[in-house]
Chains A and B, each alone.
Chain A
């Protein structure tokens, strides 16, 4: 294989974990190069694009804003991330808008004046990284509003992991079907990704960095290899392409043979993972000063005319992005934000692209009838967490607490492998989620 100049041993690669699935049906669109989408007439920016507190608007209706200008921010001390204008124009409205997560939060609507005028706030980082204190990097990243695909503000993740994480993992596994934006970034912007990783390493004060890449992206790994030549602290680890390898718990398990106990985070076992896009956004923020105002995502599904990997201005609606891809061949039954395994079906295509939307899928749902559980055991064979989903399903349906506790419903990471493999098409994730809620309520009742 030849991809491990330093670090993990060649004979143990590709790394993997127990269980997991390999959906063949959803072919990835890795051939389409990353294309920048032009900003549309209107952008609608929800003020909550991360896990944490909602940002408060800093502008009013009628104000003229410039591209990259900060328009909303959370309070000092809150886990929050600022929102920046992705176009220059006039603030048309500040009103409740739908989010891809299904909530309704305050959002700022900006009418694009097509002047693409940059804000004077957009300034590159002045000092070389080697001479910078980690706190300054963290503060700079906070001001640039960078949020990871898991919804955690990057500055907060670095601040929490500092001192505990000895190893930085750049998550290039992109295990969800259909999604290929990360793959394109590895192929086209490998140097920027590596640059971002270097900045993150400095901020985290950690010793090693590993680029975790799935073996269906070996060409991406080659590009990274070229970019990391002569840097002994970097290495590449190749993983078997399997869903859900990108889940942090499994990444840490496959790479370091450690397990993150329930309730703890990755940095409690000495590692922290950041996505490929986050690294690139960090690099861009430092080199150009531009905050996070775009999102690289994949548009796919059988109903879309031309699937593509796009760099979309934040706040564009799903409808506009789909129109950019030639529109739909026929009305999709499902419009999904994210991947088909963990994404969320949307109720309207007027919802905006936010910092956590990794894909827009227009799927034609096949008719599936749910049958009874035939006790075949396939779900238990694929569960990456080592659980027995059919027992959890039975316990959930009969609302019994004892089996939920015995079969550890709390360990479930809702990856969906069980529901994918079930021949009776049972909605296992939904029932297990209900079971988890029951268990949590029972736990609260006791305290």
Chain B
């Protein structure tokens, strides 16, 4: 028998593929999505389906037009579509959805080379662009269980008048409005106004647990992001009287959990070394806190994670692991040791972090 043996070792591959990873993220988002549809009605379902179909359709058309292989079966466009839909309030006009899908899938992702080659998070760019172009529509958060037409292209403000809120719970707190009974549990279960996918904190956390167990994301980014952010809220509470609420409300509203668990952890824009992830998570947390002081809750988060995503891959350079047989410290430890050496010259008695290898 004869073969054409062009392939090289190794001849084994593990089961996981890009598709199964994307599928896992979709499954993790499922509880929050289903709740969003239940809470915000069939219009939410329309938006979700429209978003997914637009993203997948646009990617397929673009790739066909550019004579590339159509890669929609790797489910990344589906995920982009779903995440984008979950970041929208249910009262948006329907034309916003394909526009956002276009910005995310074509402008940010495909024009730069497709999967793996973009340099900022497509979903966040789409949301940001919409904030610039149509700020009123994307900040109209409605109460759950408001009746709304599922297929109306545009929902008038009058129809929603009673249920529109443009502030999240903690912004209200900051203005001195006392927290009501049950606000916290409402935030956790998801009966507060917000975007389709971001209201139920518990379901989002369940999704995070699923991802961690399936080893799709490591716990570092989301945990450090959330911890840094909460710590800053603890140090500088928006209301000195209600310290606990000042920490918990910003955490469970304004899309923070959705951003920390599903948007900041995008592989392409986040670091892969543990040190890099911790630094990235901390950076996200700090920037989100700072930006939310100047912008609205959503915009602050979006800008913060967008900027961090831009530098995410470069953070790895500070934490290059030590190769076998090579005596080298990574840049961070090198800086630390240099600092210590400088201080030692000034007379302090600090021990260096790395001992000389025997």
Q: Is B185 interfacial (CB 8 A cutoff)?
A: no
- Say which one of B40-48, B110-118, B156-164, B283-291 lies at the interface with A: B110-118
Contacts of B273 in A (CB 8 A): 377, 380
Q: Could you tell me the distance between the alpha carbons of A333 and B7 in the complex, rounded to whole angstroms?
A: 11
Interface of chain B: mostly helix, strand, loop or mixed: loop
Q: Of the candidates A177, A348, A381, A423, which one forms a contact with B20 in the assembled complex, judged by CB atoms under 8 Å apart?
A: A423
A331 touches B8 (CB 8 A): no
Chain B residues contacting A365 (CB-CB under 8 Å) are 7, 11
Which residues of B34-89 are within 8 A (CB) of A?
Answer: 71, 74
Q: Which residues of A contact B15 (CB under 8 A)?
A: 25
Most buried by A among B15, B16, B74, B321: B321
**CA of A366 to CA of B13 in the docked complex: distance in angstroms?**
9
Establish whether residues B11 and A423, one from each chain, have CB atoms under 8 Å apart when the complex forms. Answer: no
Chain B, interface size category, equals 35 or more
B14, A23: Cβ atoms closer than 8 Å = yes
Contact with B9, one of A262, A331, A429 (Cβ below 8 angstroms): A429
Interchain CB contact (< 8 A) of A340 among B9, B14, B326 = B9
Interfacial chain A residues near B2, Cβ < 8 Å? 347-348
Report B-chain residues with C-beta under 8 Å of the C-beta of A411. Answer: 323-326
- Alpha-carbon distance between A249 and B71 when the two chains are bound, in angstroms: 40
Interface size class of A (residues with CB under 8 A): 35 or more
Distance from A257 Cβ to chain B, minimum over Cβ atoms (Å): 10
Q: How far is the CB of B78 from chain A (nearest CB, A)?
A: 15
Q: Would A334 and B324 be within 8 Å (CB), given that A23-B12, A25-B12, A348-B2 are in contact?
A: no
Cβ contact of A375, chosen from B17, B116, B325, B326, cutoff 8 A:
B116
A394-417 interface with B by 8 A CB criterion: 406-408, 411, 416
- Knowing A385-B323, A388-B320, A423-B17, say if A334 contacts B7 (CB, 8 Å): yes
| A319 close to B1 (CB less than 8 A) | yes
Q: Please give the distance in Å from B169's CB to the nearest CB on chain A.
A: 35
Residues of B near A406 (CB, < 8 A) are 320
Residues on the B chain within 8 Å of A25, using CB: 12, 14-15
Docked Cα-Cα span, A430 to B6, in Å, equals: 11
Q: Are A407's CB and B272's CB within 8 A?
A: no
B9 touches A344 (CB 8 A): yes
Chain A residues whose CB sits within 8 angstroms of the CB of B3 once the complex forms: 333-335, 345-348
Q: Cβ of A372 < 8 Å from any Cβ of B?
A: yes
Q: When A348-B1, A374-B18 are in contact, do A427 and B8 touch as well, CB less than 8 Å?
A: yes
Nearest CB to that of B276 among chain A residues? A377
A284: interface (CB < 8 Å)? no
CA of A334 to CA of B115, assembled, Å? 31
- Residue contact A341 to B10, C-beta cutoff 8 Å: yes
A421: Cβ under 8 A from any B Cβ: yes
Determine the chain A residues whose CB is within 8 A of the CB of B8 once the complex forms: 345, 427, 429-430, 433
Residue ID in chain B nearest A17 by CB atoms: B324
With A and B bound together, what is the CA distance between A253 and B7 in angstroms? 31
| Pairs across A and B, CB under 8 Å, 5 listed | A334-B7, A344-B5, A385-B324, A419-B10, A424-B18
Q: List 19 additional A-B contacts (Cβ < 8 Å) besides A262-B326, A347-B5.
A: A25-B14, A259-B324, A331-B1, A335-B3, A341-B11, A348-B1, A371-B18, A371-B71, A372-B116, A372-B117, A384-B324, A385-B323, A385-B324, A386-B324, A387-B321, A387-B323, A388-B316, A411-B324, A419-B13
